[in-house]
Amino acid sequence: MRESIFVYETDQEVIQFLRSFFKRRKNLRAEFVDDIASLKERVSQSKEKNRVCIVDVDALPKLKPSTVDCPVLLAIIPRSPQAGIRKAVRHGVENYLISPLQEEDLAFKIKTALERKKTIELLRKKTGMLQTIVDLTSLVTSTLDPQEILYLIVKKISQVIPVTRCSIIRIDRNGDYADVAATFESPTMGRIRLDLNKYPEIKKALISEKPVVIHDVATDPIMEKVRDIIFPLGIRSIVVIPIVFHEEVIGTLFLRTSRAGYAFSEYEIKLCNAIANASANALYNAFLFEKIEDEKTRLEKLAITDYLTGVYNIRYFYHRIKEEFSRAQRYTLPLSCLMLDIDLFKGINDRYGHRIGDIILREFAQLLKKHTRKSDVLARYGGEEFIMLLPQAAESGAVAKAEAMRAYVEKYRFRGLKGKKLLTVSIGVATYPSRSIKNMEDLISFADNALYTAKTGGRNRVMVYKP
């Protein structure tokens, strides 16, 4: 399926690059718009699920990402990235491209961001399913009345899935009849006797002890003998699920749901099956709760982690530096910031390619992470630049830390280069309190200025910002 790309950009050189890029990719369809209003209109009119918006970073104040139905919003940042990155982060945009654009970088960002969005949506869907089951198990353990438990199960299903009928059926294996033990219409409804000869879907589930799904009553051969009876009721789709515990049908209880109009989706069938399992096994509650907590943790980690390097992303860094700077001001504590940049990294990309460059970035990030304290905050700032926050670290301690990391990098043999070349890193250091540092932005800027001095002074060195 071709994915729609909507582009708003004012730089003609960038526009020319993007047009050339999309022209050579059959799986992407780009549409260029002249203003923000046109962008919003075209996105809202598009019916495709996979969409990407690429915009000039200066347009972000006019375009709130939360108001545009795009799984991915990429911001194009001009050649001086510092202010552009801050603007992107401030407006909630994690994905950005720094001009001049590179084809491989753009293709990788679009591909990775779309895959990441799909993964998040899948995890959220699974988390929703697990949350429903956890809610149900909490309900059924709130009472010792078996009848009330059965009613709570069917009621919960009717709340999360649109159904015409939903009931739990108690079956005598030796007979041709069954009783409706619970139905969502009423918690006090008396038992209703069923002739199983009129319910072939239940009989098949009883024999196979496996779920039976009738997607369309009009065409499914299982329903052939009772089709004339079912049709007047307006029922199209039926799901019958044995409630199983330790691989045995519990007392021949069956969950049966039906609906008119359209068939049950795969997600709904899975949800019904999961509810049946959860209601049969009270001990399963602990496992499900643990699983949903793990899913939540994964989602939270995904939201604050840089997709390439595995360290924190810049948005999380800004969140933490705000907290730490406030704490440092309140209690007069030292707070240091390191800005790190791999020396001559462009040469690595040019000589070995961006794939090797990405491998080097991951190795570099993990090397830094290995030599940081639990209280330190390491994040990818952009490109080959990284930033580190050192709470309660004075200037002398921060310099010692920076020198140690510089030495680690200088001696380390990166697997991506197969021993062909050693890398070095330049580091800028700034520390609060200082008469020149009034806020967290000053702390970051002065560390960046110190890094610039280190780069222009010969690289592979640590420089401290001095007013």
Q: What is the CATH number of the domain that holds 365?
A: 3.30.70.270
Per DSSP, what are the bridge partners of residue 461?
A: none
**Beta strands across the sheet bearing 165-171:** 192-195, 177-183, 165-171, 248-259, 237-245, 212-214
Phi first, then psi: give them for residue 309, nearest 5 degrees.
-95, -20
Pick from 69, 101, 133: which residue ends a domain?
101
- Residue 249 is predicted with a pLDDT of 56
Identify the band that residue 13 occupies on the pLDDT scale cut at 50, 70 and 90: confident
361 and 410 co-located in one domain: yes
Pick from 52, 79, 101: which residue ends a domain?
101
Identify the band that residue 282 occupies on the pLDDT scale cut at 50, 70 and 90: very low
pLDDT at 80 exceeding the cut of 80: no
444 and 340 co-located in one domain: yes
80 and 25 co-located in one domain: yes
Q: Give the amino acid at 378.
A: L
pLDDT at 379 exceeding the cut of 60: yes
pLDDT at 382 exceeding the cut of 80: yes
- Report pLDDT digits (tens) over 21-35: 888 888 777 778 887
Domain count across the chain: 3
pLDDT at 253 exceeding the cut of 50: no
Asked if 232 and 288 touch (Cβ cutoff 8 Å), the reply is no
- Report pLDDT digits (tens) over 206-232: 888 788 888 888 888 888 888 888 777
For 200, 328, 338, 445, the CA distances from 396, given in Å and listed in that order, are 80, 17, 13, 19
- Range with lowest mean pLDDT among 57-61, 107-111, 251-255, 328-332: 251-255
Q: Can you count the helices (H) and strands (E) in the chain?
A: 14, 16
3 part of the active site: no
Orientation of helix 440-456 relative to helix 314-331, angle to 10°: 110
248 and 312 co-located in one domain: no
**Is 408 within the bounds of a domain?**
yes
pTM, entire model: 0.42
- Catalytic residue (choose from 201, 324, 384, 385): 384
